[in-house]
Every structure is written in C-alpha cells, then in structure tokens.
Chains A and B, each alone.
Chain A
Amino acid sequence: MTTLISDLFTRFPYASFESKGNEYSLTVPPEKLYETASILKKNELVSFDFLCDIIGMDYGDSLGLIYRLNASAYPAYTLALKTSTGERENPRIDSVIDLWDSADLYEREAHDFLGIVFTGNPDMRRLFLRQDWKGYPLRKDYDASPEANPIPLENEKIEDMETLPVIDLNSDRKIEPEKLFEAGEYVVNFGPQHPATHGVLHLRVALDGEIITKIDPNFGYIHRGIEKMCEAYTYPQMLHLTDRMDYVSGPINRHGLCLAIEKGLELEVPERAQYIRTIIDELSRIASHLLGWGCMAMDMGSITAFVYGMRDREKIMDIIEETCGGRLMANYNVIGGVMADIHPDFQKKVKDFIPYMRKMLKEHHLLFTGNPIARGRMDGVGYLSKEKAISLGATGPTGRASGWRNDIRKIEPYAAYGKVAFDEMLREDGMTFDRYIIRLDEIKESLHIIEQLIDTIPEGAYAAKTKAIIRVPEGEYFSRVENARGEFGVYINSRGDKYPYRVKFRSPSMTLVNTLKAIAVGTKVADLIMLGGSLDYVVPCIDR
C-alpha cells in the first residue's frame, strides 16, 4: 500500500506530501484541487472512493479545506487532501460533487460556515443557518454581535428555502434563480414537527399520489454551534458537548474526542480505562441499536415493539447510571481515562444483563423479524449498492448492510477492541431488511464482546494523570471511532494553546440523510418513513 501511494503521488509534481503512520497528507494549490481529486478517485492503483469529510478551515490569513479521503480497499490508510486560498472576499474552489456523492452536503456546510463558494455545485444554499444570515460564523473575523444578526421575528419564507441562489459573479447578465420544486408539484412538509423524523429534521417531499419524486432535507432547527463553542472552551470543557450530539450513543462520541486529545498529548491511557471504555461503548451501542430497532418498528406502525425496545434499553440505562452518574448524558470518559472507577455492582449487573438480552433478542425476532407484514414492507425497498454506499459515505450498519467493510473497530482497533474476538457483521444485499437485521446481529456481537471483557478487566488506575491545565501541542489530530451509526470522526487543530484552534466533528448521520435522499425516490410515503427508520439517523448529530 505504501508503495502504491508513493507511486500515485509522483503524479502530482505540484503537491507537497507528508506522512505520519497511516495518515498521509497532500497539499495542493486550489486551482489544482479538482484535477488532483479526480486522479485520486479515478486512478487504477488505489482509488480513494470514500470522501469521509470536508473540513473547512480559517487559517487566519487564508481559508482552507481539508478533504479526508479513504480507499475502501485499504481502509486503514487515510489521506488528507489540503488546499487553501488567500482570497477571503470571494473564495472559489471547484466542486467535487461529481466525484463523490457525499460532497454535496459537506460543501454546503463549508459554504455556510466559511463562505467558500464551490463552483460546479448548483445548490449553494445555506445548510444550517437561515438563508438571510449575514456573515460566516467559523471565520475568525466573524462578527458575533446580536446587532449583526438580530433575532428574527418572522418565519423564514418557504420560497427562500427552495430557491437555489445564483452565484455567478463573473458575468453581468441576470439569471433567473432556479426553484427546487416546480409550481404544480404536490409538496408535503415532513417535519420539523413530525412524529417520525427522529428529531427536528425538515424533509420537503414532492409526491405523485403516494409516490415520492423528490426529497429536499432542511437542517439547522436545533443547530447549537458546537464547533464554534469548542473554540472558546478548554479541552476538558469541550467534552460534555459530544454527549449532546448523538445523544443515543453519547459515550462513544466522547470516546472519540478523548482519543483525539490523547493523541495530541501522547498520553498513555491505562489498560483498565481502555477496558471500561470498551464495555461502556458496547453497552451504549446495544442501547442505541435497541432504540433504532424500536423506532423503525414504530415507524412501521408497531408501537408495541418500540416499547419492548425501550424496556430492554432501560436495563442498560440503569447500568450506565449506576457507574457513570448520568443516564443519557453519561459524561464518563475524560482525557486520559474515565471519570470514576466502575461501581462494585457493575460486573454483576452486566453479567445478568447478557443472558436477559439474548433471550429478549429471540423474542424480538419472533415478534417482528418473521412477521409477514414487516417482511413484505421491507423486501425489495430501498436498495443501496456498495458503490453507492461508499460514494455517499454511508458508514456504519448501513454501509455494512451493502457489503462495505467499514467497521473502525476492525480497521483501527482502538481501546480494547484489539484484544477481543468479534466478527464484523456484513451482508451483501443492501436492502432495507439487511439494514434492519444487521442491527440485531450487532447487538448479539456486542454482547459477545462484553462477555469477553467483563471478567478480565485488569487492575490498575482508571485514569492517567493529566496536568491541571491541558495544552495540546501544535498540530492537527484526527481520530475516528465506530459510533452506533457509523464513523464518528474528530479533527482538532491546535496551536499549542489551552483552547483548540478548530474542531470538526464528522457526523455519520448527515450522510445518512443524504442516503435517504438517494434511495427513497420512487418509493411510497410509508416507505420514506420506514427507510428513515432503517438508516437510523439522529438529527442533533447533524445539527452540531
């Protein structure tokens, strides 16, 4: 692989190249970006077919972009394709939307927060903020005063939301702004207040009878500016925000952020803490999958299944509450370990839980998996091919249901995952049923992981000693963990200060909504809701 990459990099004489372990980085001038990206995607040596994230940066004097690329054939290697432009007034960078399907929302996000215009992307609406927002919040010279953006007293006009802005400053001719929906289309708003959008997601759906012809997701209804807040927080203060992103798998997110900071500090986490973190992660993964299963069942009309899922999840919440002190917001991982040692009853309770959950899993299968109504609804709907899944960046169970090996726990075994034997659940068909069944299979596998770890938690300290004031050395740090929904990535840019210079979280849910947009067209209204359930996105993770 190393030789392949060095061979490939000889094709970019204009680029500067660095490597650190499995992380490669390539810096190119902005006008060469598209060319480089296109070669990286389309070459015959190693095709970087998975665009993991686009990180927008304000370096102070210039605006930059970091494209995090992966090759699905060699998932352990990551490539950061960097570019920056000194132009701040009217920064333009070529869009890579035709190379990767996931680029669409990422580019809109970078446009929204940094004002970079991607030429070639027709949809340059704001992604999270209102269309009439002034300024770009993640720029360092952003005016955050309330006078610049007073609290609006009127609703955002629906016309503004569906009008694609015209960004063509080079020509003087007037161009009619394009509308997303035509005048005669039967457009139904699903959300922001709707029982089945799993949060405050706003889907605008054009219908032909019951059949969906177009979907336009709108985000930002609960956007809290977590990335901006992080820039004003010290490293320990930042941690609590991650629990509030993907709130059903909070401990895993927090683990990801801790890993990134620990990488920066070069801190050795005690083995006991590693084990505890792994067990808590797997417990919250089970809880999250149970909720996902229940919600999908409820989206299909089976409220009883949802209650059963919640009932079993309650057992996990109880265990987590006893040890961590919080239920949903476990608040357990800290830099260098965990906040407190496990509760004396923890091991016993977990050991009681494992056989209970196995028994309940059998019941869940009897209640729902075999049900001909459920099978009839899931069969033949929502096909997602492997190539499409990689291109959309649909990581996690969704990608694995399409046959894409993307489990970070296997690719890059962090914490105690290297020490346990477990299988990466993989299915080939990419149908809704595969996405459904893979979650129940993963619960089984998680139970298997916990079973191996729970009796062998080593003695020792539960947290490494850290300084009172944590300063991460200058540099860029990536980390990624396997969230219950997919790859949760953290990027920290530090300038050696108490505060990070820039933090970016890669939310697995955002690409899942993009996936919904791709697979739900042509299905029926009822399927849209069910497909949303099968992808199992969590909206606060998108609206960071």
Chain B
Amino acid sequence: MFQFSVVNQWIDEFLRTYLSEGWTLLVEFVLVALLVLTAYAVLALLLIYIERKICAFFQCRIGPNRVGPFGILQSVADMIKILLKEIIRINKVDPFLFRLACFLVIIASLCTFGALPFDGGLHAIDFNIGVFYLLAVSSLGVVGILLAGWSSNNKYTMIGAMRSGAQLISYELSCGLSLLSIVILSGTMQLSQIVEQQSDLWFIFKGHVPAFIAFVIYLIAGHAETNRGPFDLPEAESELTAGYHTEYSGIQFGFFYLAEYLNMFIIAAIAATMFLGGWMPLHIPGWDRINEIMDYIPPVIWFFGKTFFCVFMALWVRWAFPRLRIDQLLALEWKILLPIGLINILLMTLLVIL
C-alpha cells in the first residue's frame, strides 16, 4: 500500500539539506497552502459539473454538453465568467459586513477542508482533537450566512438568514452526536488514528447497528447543514428567490457558491472518514487474498470513491424530494433525529463497554 507520507518526508529532507529550519517551515507552509487552495478550487469545479450532470440525468435531461467533450469544461467557463463579472454595488447595505460575510463563509469551509485526511500523510494538519476541530470550524459558516442576510438590507435575505440560523444550530447537535458515537467506539478524536483503527474493518460494520444509525443520522444532519436538498430553506428559490445571497453578485456570489459545493464535499468526506474508513481500503478479517487485492487500489482513490458515493447519495436525495417547511424541519431534528441520536449514543456506549 502506497503511503503519501513517504513523499512528504522526502520533500522535507530535500528542503532541509538546502535551507535552515525556519525557511524550510515557511516553504512547506506555502506549499501546503497552495496545494489546499488548488485542490479546493479544482474540486469545486468538479463538483459543480458533477452536480449539474447528475441533476440533469435525474430530470431526463443531458445537462451541460456544449463546452468541451460532454461539457466537462462548462464549469471552467463558468468560473471565468464569474471572475469577470461586475460586483454590483447595492445601496444602503452595511458595506463592511456585506463584504466580510462571503469571506467568512469561504474561510470556514476552507479551514475544514484543510483538516481532512485524504491519504495517509496527505493532510495539512493532524490535530489530536481533529473531530472536535472539524465540528467547530465548519459551524463558523453560519456566522457568515447570518451576516450576509442581515447586512444585505433586504427582506428576503433577512428571512433566509433567520431560517439558516435556526436550521444550522439545530442540526449541529445531531451532527455532533452521531460523530460522538464513533468517537466513543474508537476512543480517540484524532482523524489519522480513527482511520488507522478501521484497517481491519470499517466502523460502519464494526459498530453494528448503532454505527449504521449514526451514519444515516449524520448524512441527514450533515446534508441539512449544507443548506441543500430538501433542507434548502435559507435559499428556497420558490419562496425567497435566492435567500441570503440574493444581493450578491460576481465573485462575491461565487464565494457562496463555492462554499456551498465544498461543504457538500466536506460533509461527505467526514462521513467517509468516520464511518467508511476514509482512505483505508476495504479489509475483511480473515480474507487475506481479497485484502491484498484491495491494497493495490491507491488510498486516494478509496477516499474519493467513498466521498463521491456520499455526494451521490446527497444529490439523489436532493433531486427527489420537495423542500421542508421550517416547522417540519425543526420537528424532524428535535423530535426524531435528536432522540434517536441520544439513544444511539447509549447503545454505542453499551456496545463498547460490553
């Protein structure tokens, strides 16, 4: 099994032979930042293309098919267009907060993105409280959404922002609880160790029923946190035209757009890491031959395969269901997901103890 940490160490040693300690660190930081930003942008373009194509297929359409073969350059063309677009000045907005909001949203999602383990060693930072960090940073985005809605000085955005606040804060609970059950099972919050522990079997199988329930709850709650699918109330287009980002234009809107797609990816990636073993290939205890074959597939492919599976589930749900109303949304969280999540944690604890 090829591990990316080998490459890391080689670069590190290579730099250290020529540069001093401080410069080495600096160059490495810049390299990491560049890599993360590039991956972020490229993934966003890819996700936009995938979403449009899959959405089209669900709707008996073909989807983008004009720019490049099968339309694969469509999102690149869209990116160029959005970069060239004028940022329209809106009267009577709170200019500072209005501009800050889109950065807050994208920074929150970028910070989360950086902490994902793509491969053994291929992640920017490996906290010992990784799960906690992911939860904390990903929920910063709601501040940006609230600010965007409030500072736009528009009634639609205001309603959108208020809905968003209620929604994100509620669903944060279920998200946390379902991840907590895995933390209980693994006994650690460090993402690399969580992945390592799944080398014999993924947690979703290891944890029996409680892990499966936690997985489903996490998919639902995480999906709700991305403001998509049946949970897109903050931007409910048939009601609020575009919700909290109605007044944004050009690349400012582009930031919201990027963050939305990347959040979808991040939620899927966390689900893959915590429940489906992250970059770890499928290992079944006792079946050594199969395990060896599985090892030939590079971990990065395992990671992206699992993540895109979760993304596909999210898109499937999104394009099949109507939108919830705000009271239904909160009822789903507080009356169904949260009680089940709490009971699930209890079950998981019993499972670990016994």
Contact = CB atoms under 8 A, between A and B. Distances in A.
Are chains A and B touching in the complex at the 8 Å CB cutoff?
yes
B205 to A, nearest CB: 29
Interface in A272-306: 297-305
Given A301-B230, A304-B59, A524 B326 contact: yes
Nearest to A378: B322
B327 A368 contact: no
A301 B60 contact: no
A373 B238 CA distance: 16
Interface string B290-330: 00000000000000000000000000000111111111100
Nearest to A300: B322
A304 B319 contact: yes
A529 interface: yes
B163 to A, nearest CB: 8
Nearest to B238: A196
Contact of B61 (A307, A373, A527): A307
A424 B280 CA distance: 62
A526 B239 contact: yes
Contacts of A376: 324-325, 328
A377 B322 contact: yes
B325 A524 contact: yes
B328 A188 contact: no
B236 A526 contact: yes
Contacts of B241: 194-195
B156 interface: yes
Residue among A186, A299, A308, A526 having the largest count of chain B Cβ atoms under 10 Å = A526
A373 B327 contact: no
Contact of A373 (B58, B59, B319, B324): B324
Contacts of B58: 304
Interface string B48-83: 000000000011110000000000000000000000
A377 B324 contact: yes
Interface in A362-385: 367-368, 371, 373-374, 376-377
Contacts of A311: 60
A2 to B, nearest CB: 50
Contacts of A305: 322
Contact of B156 (A188, A301, A374): A188
Contact of B155 (A186, A302, A373): A186
Given A302-B322, A527-B325, A373 B60 contact: no
A376 B61 CA distance: 29
B322 A195 contact: no
Given A210-B326, A302-B322, A377-B325, A196 B239 contact: yes
Q: How large is the interface on B (under 10, 10 to 19, 20 to 34, 35 or more residues)?
A: 20 to 34
B60 A308 contact: yes
Nearest to A377: B325
A371 B321 contact: yes
A195 B237 contact: yes
B187 to A, nearest CB: 37
B57 to A, nearest CB: 11
A304 B320 contact: yes
Contact of A297 (B163, B230, B322, B328): B322
Given A297-B322, A302-B323, A307-B60, A377 B328 contact: yes
Contacts of B240: 525
A307 B320 CA distance: 12
B159 interface: yes
A526 B326 contact: yes
Nearest to A367: B320
B232 interface: yes
Contacts of A374: 322
Interface string B224-242: 0000001011001111110
Nearest to B323: A301
A307 B61 CA distance: 9
Interface in B140-170: 155-156, 159, 163
Contacts of B327: 524
A204 to B, nearest CB: 11
A187 to B, nearest CB: 8
A307 B59 contact: yes
- Residue among B61, B237, B323 with most chain A CB within 10 A: B323
Contact of B239 (A303, A367, A525): A525
A383 B247 CA distance: 36
B263 to A, nearest CB: 19
B328 A373 contact: yes
A194 B239 CA distance: 8
Interface string A173-196: 000000000000010100000111
A524 B324 CA distance: 12
Contact of A529 (B60, B238, B326): B238
B11 to A, nearest CB: 47
Interface in A484-540: 524-529
Of A188, A301, A367, which is in contact with the most chain B CB atoms at under 10 Å from its CB? A301
Contact of A368 (B159, B233, B322): B322
A367 B321 CA distance: 8
Given A196-B239, A307-B61, 4 more contacts: A302-B320, A302-B321, A303-B319, A525-B240
Q: Which 10 A-B pairs have the closest CB atoms?
A: A301-B323, A302-B322, A300-B322, A307-B59, A196-B238, A301-B322, A526-B325, A188-B155, A304-B319, A299-B238
6 contacts: A188-B156, A210-B159, A301-B238, A304-B59, A376-B328, A526-B325
